[in-house]
Each structure stands twice: as structure tokens, then as C-alpha cells.
Structure 1
Amino acid sequence: MEAVTSKPVRTNSVGGLKLSWRDHKYHRFYEVVDQLVHELQEHVWFKSGKAKRRLKGDGLEKLHYSVECLVRDCMAVVLQRKRKSEAAIRKGQYYYSSERPDQMLTYSIHIERAFEGLVELGYLEVTKLGYFDRNGRKDGTPTSRLSRYIASDRLLDLFTTEELKALPAIMPPYCDPELIRVRVKEKDENGVNRKRSVSITETSETLRMRENLGIINNALSRHWYDLEIPDDELSALQKRLADNPQNERIIRMDQRFLHRVFNDPDLQTGGRFYGGWWQNIPREYRQHLAVNGKRMVELDYSNQHPSILYAQASIVRPADCYSGVIKPPLIPDGVTAKDLRDMVKAAFNAMLNSPKPLRQAPKGVKPSKFGLKWAEVSEEIIAFHEPIAHHFYTGVGLRLQRLDSDIAEKVLLHFARSGIAVLPLHDSFLMHNGYEPSLDPVMRSAFEEVVGASPKIDRKEPDKVLLQDAADEDDPFGPVTTDDLDELLADLDVGCENRLRAFRALQRA
């Protein structure tokens, strides 16, 4: 690979950790980034027939950053050469406004130079064009989809056969550049509710949060988390999640660090931990999560938000705040009591989060499945929870999220200071099953410290489900055919074991 001398020397801060750009263990990834940046600087563009002005200084650093993001996004989801998942990219110029917290990404460099240049050079392939349809749905509301792209074979050829077996593990860990983010809802020029990032004032509290995230992410960086399922099943799951029009859920195992997201500049609402790829997997797959090749246990706070509200009112809460709330006249065939409980739980939370009464069922809540109307569901929940009924339709749910995120921070910090990995899922935590006796008392202590009452903690039992056997169905990625003997042998390898071995090798580097 040709040496590149034009790249700026800098220190990269990732997840609160300081990583040397040139010399840390992920140098192979950055070698590829260096080569692509060099080719972009020299590229003769199809339209103009000449090269663009070479970038220097801050512009060159932004080009490196953009190329790193583009390559990471499409390669962190590659399991094998013939099994590539799509990455999404926002191509609208409005997204790269001056108010964006991550000022390293600009439209002129990230889209017009890096993305379009790598497409022209044949390293990226566009698979779907994005669109926005203002009246796309039957009810007249907009529909949209982000543009999608994949890594081309030319890009994959820059890595060795062994590296291609474990690409997600050799990607540098990704974390949102802003460890503390504020996202507020606003209507855009089309009248569509969108979340917009706003700047925050640095205070002693935000500095403390950043420092704590550095400790937590440092502990997470020492361990490898994976799904112990065949790669063909993992590929099918990736495709299933990527089919979300906005691509909000996808498995990218380079996303191993956490950040916090608040809903107001004063940091009084929200604050939950996001960023970990394990937060995007469907519930039934959690039983296949492993840390360093070892199975994990999941403990959660039972009925967490109602528990906090009842504790603040000094009243003992019902044993289950979501069961027995509504007794429909008849549960139709194919619908279970658990389905009814799940509907009540979703409705309960929507009623806490909404700042005003809801005239119709919120998204995802379908009372008609149980022969009910939304007004009946709302009234029954209010009647059942009469001691805390004054909190419904006040938006208190987002303020409760600040409390539950502070509880989570205490749990994560307790173990992180000993270098032990804990994966948060808002009101539940996953860790090596050997630590289960320690996790329960730490969760209790954190809850009592923040709320002033004792919680009920449940152990999540594995779901008794039959996961898709990809061998019995058509492969969504098409038939896997190759004359490459090394690739045929690679198919016999176990993907999660290859990734774990690669991660361990990097840790020793």
C-alpha cells in the first residue's frame, strides 16, 4: 500500500478515551483510510475532467474523518464478502447545518467530495436512492427513506482474507462525538416533527458526566460482545432491521461505546444511555448475547417508572402495574393476556410522556385488537392508578427518564471502576452470568440512593422461541457461490469466534 504523508497527525478522542491516530492497534483500518484519502485528493472527476483543489489543514482533517465514517458505516456490517448489509447516508444539505454538534461532517466535504468521490472511484456502490414524499401515507402524512450504499468488492480487496472474516472486530470502536447530547423536537419547513440537536452550556455537571462516560467506555473497550448465532442468521437479522425506512435500528458491532441524550438544554429530562449496538436487537435475541464468549444474564427493574411515582407518593404500588388493569369483554383468538399487558404498558408510558391528553391511540398501541377504544384504555388506566393519576398527560415520563438514567449511571460506574462490562438497556442490565450475585445488590443500592425506596428486580428468562433457520428459507442475500477456496473454508468458520479471536489479538497488540 502506498505511503501517504499528507495526513495530519492528531489525537482522536473516542468515547472519552484518547487514541493515537497513527499508532494504536487499529492501524490497519487507518491505512485503508489513508489510501482512500490520497486517491480522493488525486481523483480526476468525471463531470469536470480534472481534479479538485487539494485540501489542507482543517479541510484535510475533515476529509479523513468523512472517509473514516463512510468506510466504517458500510464495512462494520460486512460478515463475509458475499454477505453485505446496506449502510444509510443522509444526503440532504440541511442535515449538515452549522448547528450540527459534529462540525467535522460538512456537506461539501462529506457528501460532495468523500461520498460521491468514493462512488466514482468504485469503492462504494449506491443500492437505493433516498426520497421524501410529503403525502406518502394514506392518512396524508409524509414517508421517507435514506439513501443506501454498500462496500464494493474493490474496497473489500484492501483487506486480507483473515481480516474479512472479522471486519466488525477490526473496526475502531465508534462513539457519538458528543458524549452529552440534547435533542429537541421541532417542526421543519414541511411541518414534519423532527429532532434537532442543540448546543449545551458546559457546567461542572456535564464535566462530571463526561468523566463518568470515559470510565464506563474504558471498561466497555476491554471486552467483546457478540451474538452467538450463525452468520447467515445474523445477516438475515441485519437485513430485517435495516428495512426500517429511516434505518434507525441496525447491528453494527463497532458501536460499543455509550453517550447520553437529554431532551432539554437544562438536562432535566431524558439523559438515557444510547450508542451500544446491543440496544438495537429484538428482545428474543438477547438470550444469545455473549461477552468474551460467555453467556450473559439480564436483570431489570420491575415496573420502574410507576415504582418511582408510587415511592414518591409514599404508597405501595400494585404487584404488577400493567396486568389486571383492563378486563376486555372478550379477548379475540390469537391474542394473549401477555399481548394485553404489553398494550397496557405501552399506553401507560405514552400517557406519562404526553404533555396533553391523547385523543387517539398513540403509535404502536392498538386497543381495537382487544375490542376496546382508546378512550376506554385511557380511563381504565387512570382509574386503576388513581393514587398517581395526576401525573398522566403531564409529560412527567421524560423527567422520570432523568432519574432512571442517573440510576443506570451508578450501576455502570460501580462495575466500570473494576473494569467489568455491563450492557445497559434503560431499565435492565446484562453482564457475564458469573456476576449475577453482585449485580442484584448494586442495582438495589443505586435505586434506593436515587429514589429513596426499595425496587423489585426481575431476572429475565430466555424467550422460548424458535429463531429463523436460514438454511430452510431462501437466503435474502442470494446464493453464496465462489471459486475461492479460502472463502469456502471461511464459511466453515464460526463468525462470532473469528471476531472474538480478532478482538483478543488487537488487545494484545
Structure 2
Amino acid sequence: MAADKLAKELSLTGQKKHITRNTITLLINCTHQQKFYKDQYIKFGKAENYFRELKTSGNLNTIGISYTFIDLINKAIENDLIEEKIGFHDRNWSGRITRIKPTEKLISEYIDAYDLHNAKTERKLEPLVLRDRNKTSKSFNTTSQVKRYQDIVRRYNNFIGKQSLALSGSNTTQNSNVIFDDYHVYRVFNNSSLTHGGRFYGAWWINLQSELRPHITINGATTIELDFQAQHVYLMYGLEGISYLEKKEDPYELDGYHRNTVKKAILTAINTTNMTGAFRACLKELKDKYGSAVRSMDYFTYVSPVDTKAGYEGLIYAFLAKHPPLEKHLHTNIGNTLMYLDSQICSHILDHMTERELPVLPIHDSFILRKDDQNELIIAATAAYQKVCPKGIAPLL
């Protein structure tokens, strides 16, 4: 087995299950890099907090990779199996994460020698994960509804695993995040409740950079990506018995504000319980994204309107002036409930498409599919909304 040979060559010590887990993960990622984006590097954080975040992440670390993975990487570098570009971080909101890629030695002695190009991961992931507020996994009763959720995920995984998915024709110079899983998805519910969260995570395309998604092919066919515009705003209207779709306008368009700033502020507002906390969270996210270019127009366009609490409050009041029915929902932490609704819509869509043997790749509120299948996706989406929140239907663009 390739993983056993790698562990022996690098003289790895420790518990065998951890060694096997780490070596398999490295080989999966290197094979994936060679298969889908040969000229790019894999993003890989060496800071200990990177792995602490992975332990609680629903969309990356499904097999429990820990800080010991760095020891494997260092030894692989010493043995000329991995090429590394070391990252950095400075005080001016600037930095770059470490990047790695396999050397010709690893490619020839492992990926080619063991024919890993056609290998797929076969880890038996649980289709549903329930976590408490501390992100710790919890047990749950297998009710008839839970069985239904599980069956949909299993059928989808079985079907999508038989399809040929690839990333081709990309000229981008971006790097892809390290991937710890392959074709299988699973649902993550939050706050010890099967009505909070429930979104799909795990598969490689979910973590793929948005710039690379247009290059995904399904069974050799090019794809398109359709997503629900401002889905959570439409769902909040739907909970009030109002169909915002009839207005035929973008709910995030506000005079004097950039749309992306409005979107970020409102999504923060529905995931916090008070104005102050929402302001701080919103500003941090915007500065994390644009702070390294503090003198650029992007920074001032996106951040300046909300870089004070008064500025944030002004945006919120402007939004509520346009959307009075939504005042009761902002700063109430309704986000997990809305994610549950959008995850149920996604689940129904996947079930519909799988029954018709039409492959579709979910990314929360968007779907990657072959262009010829888009009419069926619209039919599936319409039916899904009727089951979950009939008045909350959002445009699929």
C-alpha cells in the first residue's frame, strides 16, 4: 500500500492510525493536485490554530487531521517528496499561506507506481453530523425523518461517485485549498438541533476556489453554476407570508452602498444577537478581505461605509426602510434556521436530480451542472420551495 511505503520511507513514529490517516491525506491531495490543477500549489497552513480550526470545520477536516501532519510534511520535504513555498504574515493585514506541491519523485514513486490517478476515497462518512455550540459531535435519535435525510445523502453519494468529474482548461494562477475529502457529501446540523444548519459539506468542489469552478466538467461536458440570489432575504420574507420574488428587484441594492457591503452586513446581522456584535463581526470580515489593500479603491468601496458603528447602523436602517417586514429578524441569530431551510431545499433538489440520474454538484445555495440539465434543476427547485417555504422562493440565476 502506498501509504505504508511512505510512512516507512519517512520513518514516521506514533500511533499507526494517525500515521495512516496523515499519509493517506497527503497522497490524496497530491494526486488531486496532479489530476485537476498540475501547475498550481496546495494551500497549507503551518500554524497550530489552522489545525484547531480544521478540527471544528464542517467542510474540510472530516478525518481528524491534527498538528502532527506538519511533521509528515517536513519529513517529506527533507526527502525530496514535497516542494514548499513558505508563507508569511505581517502587521499590515498582509500575508500568504504556505503552499506545497508534489515533486517528480513523489509522482513517479507513489502516484504513478501505485496508479493513484484513478483511485477514489472510500471513507465511510456518516451522512449526518450533529454538533453542539462548542462544535462537539453529539448523538441523535434515528427517527423516520432522520432516516429520510440519511437515505437522500447516501443515494446521492452513490450516484455522484460513479460520475466522471474533472477540472480542466484552467489558466488561473490561483492555488487551491488542501482537500481532505473527495466525492462524498454529508450534512452538518448545529446547536444540538436537527433544525439548525444542515448544510452539505465534504466534497472537493465545495472547497474549490470560485475562480476554478467554471472549469469543472461532468462526464466530459462543460458546466454552468446557478445560484439562488439573496436566498436568506427571500426566505425571511417567506416566513412572513410575503413573496418578494414578485417585486422583481435585488433586495441588496441600496442607494449609496455597494451591494457586497450590504450583503455582508445583512448576513452578519442575521447571525448575531445585537447591533454591536454584528458591527464588529462585519468590519472584521471586510478588513480581513480588503485590509491588505487599505489604500485601494476596493477597500474604501467595501469597508468605509461601515467602518464605524454609526456607519453600520446607518446601513441597517437604510435596509429596513426598504424592507420593514424584516426588522423582527435582524440581530436575532435566525441564520441557523435559514440555513436549515436552504439545506432542506438543497436536499430536495439533490433527491429530485438523483432520481432522474442527472448529476449536480451542490455548494450551499448554488449548483454546478451541465447546461442541458438546467431546466430540470429549475423544476426541482420550484418543487423544493413548495415543500419547504412556498412564499420564500428566490430567483435562480
Given the two structures, how large is their TM-score scaled by the length of structure 2?
A: 0.76
- Unpaired segments of 5 or more residues in structure 2? 288-297, 306-310
Per the TM alignment, residue 440 of structure 1 is displaced from its structure 2 partner at its CA by 1.3
Q: 1:220 aligns with which of 132, 156, 160?
A: 160
Distance in 1, matches of 2:366 and 2:63, equals 34
What aligned pairs does 1:433-444 form with structure 2 within 5 A after superposition?
433-444=371-382
- The yes-or-no answer on 1:340 pairing with 2:340 is no
Per the TM alignment, residue 313 of structure 1 is displaced from its structure 2 partner at its CA by 1.4
Q: C-alpha offsets along residues 453-492 of structure 1, whole Å, 9 cap, x if unaligned? A: 372433x3xxxxxxxxxxxxxxxxxxxxxxxxxxxxxxxx
> Counterpart in 1 of 2:7?
37
Answer yes or no: is the 8 Å Cα contact 2:25–2:180 preserved in 1: no
Distance in 1, matches of 2:99 and 2:209, equals 22
> Counterpart in 2 of 1:150?
101
Does the C-alpha gap of structure 1 residues 62 and 150 become closer, same or farther in structure 2, counting only changes over 3 Å? same
Distance in 2, matches of 1:223 and 1:94, equals 32
Distance in 1, matches of 2:6 and 2:226, equals 45
Q: 1:209 aligns with which of 146, 149, 154?
A: 149
Q: 1:266 aligns with which of 193, 208, 211?
A: 193
> Counterpart in 1 of 2:286?
364
Q: C-alpha offsets along residues 241-261 of structure 1, whole Å, 9 cap, x if unaligned? A: x5xxxxxx46x5973321223
Does the C-alpha gap of structure 1 residues 184 and 129 become closer, same or farther in structure 2, counting only changes over 3 Å? farther
Does the C-alpha gap of structure 1 residues 82 and 427 become closer, same or farther in structure 2, counting only changes over 3 Å? closer
Q: Which amino acid aligns with 1:431?
A: L
> Counterpart in 2 of 1:483?
none
- The yes-or-no answer on 1:384 pairing with 2:354 is no
- The yes-or-no answer on 1:124 pairing with 2:82 is yes
Q: Which amino acid aligns with 2:320?
A: I
Does the C-alpha gap of structure 1 residues 197 and 95 become closer, same or farther in structure 2, counting only changes over 3 Å? farther
Per the TM alignment, residue 88 of structure 1 is displaced from its structure 2 partner at its CA by 1.6
Per the TM alignment, residue 208 of structure 1 is displaced from its structure 2 partner at its CA by 4.5
Answer yes or no: is the 8 Å Cα contact 1:447–1:454 preserved in 2: yes
> Counterpart in 2 of 1:507?
none
Answer yes or no: is the 8 Å Cα contact 2:344–2:388 preserved in 1: yes
> Counterpart in 1 of 2:25?
69
Per the TM alignment, residue 322 of structure 1 is displaced from its structure 2 partner at its CA by 2.2
Answer yes or no: is the 8 Å Cα contact 2:188–2:198 preserved in 1: yes
Answer yes or no: is the 8 Å Cα contact 1:180–1:259 preserved in 2: yes
Per the TM alignment, residue 204 of structure 1 is displaced from its structure 2 partner at its CA by 1.1
Per the TM alignment, residue 197 of structure 1 is displaced from its structure 2 partner at its CA by 3.4
What aligned pairs does 1:27-426 form with structure 2 within 5 A after superposition?
31-40=1-10, 43=11, 59-78=15-34, 83=39, 85-88=41-44, 92=48, 95=51, 105=65, 110=69, 114-128=72-86, 137=91, 148-158=99-109, 169-173=117-121, 177=125, 179-181=127-129, 197-204=135-142, 208-230=148-170, 233-234=171-172, 236-238=173-175, 242=176, 249=177, 255-281=182-208, 283=210, 285-317=212-244, 318-322=247-251, 324=253, 326-328=254-256, 340-357=258-275, 358-359=278-279, 361-362=282-283, 363-364=285-286, 369=301, 372=305, 373-426=311-364
Q: Which amino acid aligns with 2:219?
A: N
Distance in 1, matches of 2:214 and 2:389, equals 30
Does the C-alpha gap of structure 1 residues 178 and 122 become closer, same or farther in structure 2, counting only changes over 3 Å? farther
Moved more, 353-362 or 78-87: 78-87
Does the C-alpha gap of structure 1 residues 103 and 216 become closer, same or farther in structure 2, counting only changes over 3 Å? closer
2:235 aligns to what SS in structure 1?
helix
Does the C-alpha gap of structure 1 residues 436 and 227 become closer, same or farther in structure 2, counting only changes over 3 Å? same
- Unpaired segments of 5 or more residues in structure 1? 1-30, 46-51, 186-195, 243-248, 329-338, 461-509
Distance in 2, matches of 1:455 and 1:228, equals 34
Distance in 2, matches of 1:161 and 1:257, equals 24
1:457 aligns to what SS in structure 2?
coil
Does the C-alpha gap of structure 1 residues 404 and 377 become closer, same or farther in structure 2, counting only changes over 3 Å? same
How large is the Cα RMSD of the aligned pairs? Answer: 4.0
Per the TM alignment, residue 369 of structure 1 is displaced from its structure 2 partner at its CA by 2.5
The structure whose residues are more often helix, as a share, is: 2
Distance in 2, matches of 1:102 and 1:456, equals 31
Q: 2:385 aligns with which of 432, 444, 447?
A: 447
Answer yes or no: is the 8 Å Cα contact 1:222–1:419 preserved in 2: no
Distance in 2, matches of 1:438 and 1:70, equals 38
- The yes-or-no answer on 1:430 pairing with 2:379 is no
Moved more, 353-362 or 308-317: 353-362
Q: C-alpha offsets along residues 361-402 of structure 1, whole Å, 9 cap, x if unaligned? A: 532388952884322211100121111211111111221001
Answer yes or no: is the 8 Å Cα contact 2:33–2:101 preserved in 1: no
Considering only CA atoms, is the larger Rg found in Structure 1 or Structure 2?
1
Q: Which amino acid aligns with 1:34?
A: D
Per the TM alignment, residue 81 of structure 1 is displaced from its structure 2 partner at its CA by 11
Moved more, 219-228 or 169-178: 169-178
> Counterpart in 2 of 1:193?
none
Does the C-alpha gap of structure 1 residues 399 and 81 become closer, same or farther in structure 2, counting only changes over 3 Å? closer
Q: Which amino acid aligns with 2:81?
A: Y
Aligned length: 368
Answer yes or no: is the 8 Å Cα contact 2:237–2:392 preserved in 1: no
Does the C-alpha gap of structure 1 residues 148 and 228 become closer, same or farther in structure 2, counting only changes over 3 Å? closer
2:382 aligns to what SS in structure 1?
helix
Q: Which amino acid aligns with 2:343?
A: S
Does the C-alpha gap of structure 1 residues 305 and 87 become closer, same or farther in structure 2, counting only changes over 3 Å? closer
Does the C-alpha gap of structure 1 residues 116 and 211 become closer, same or farther in structure 2, counting only changes over 3 Å? farther
Per the TM alignment, residue 118 of structure 1 is displaced from its structure 2 partner at its CA by 3.8
Answer yes or no: is the 8 Å Cα contact 2:45–2:98 preserved in 1: yes
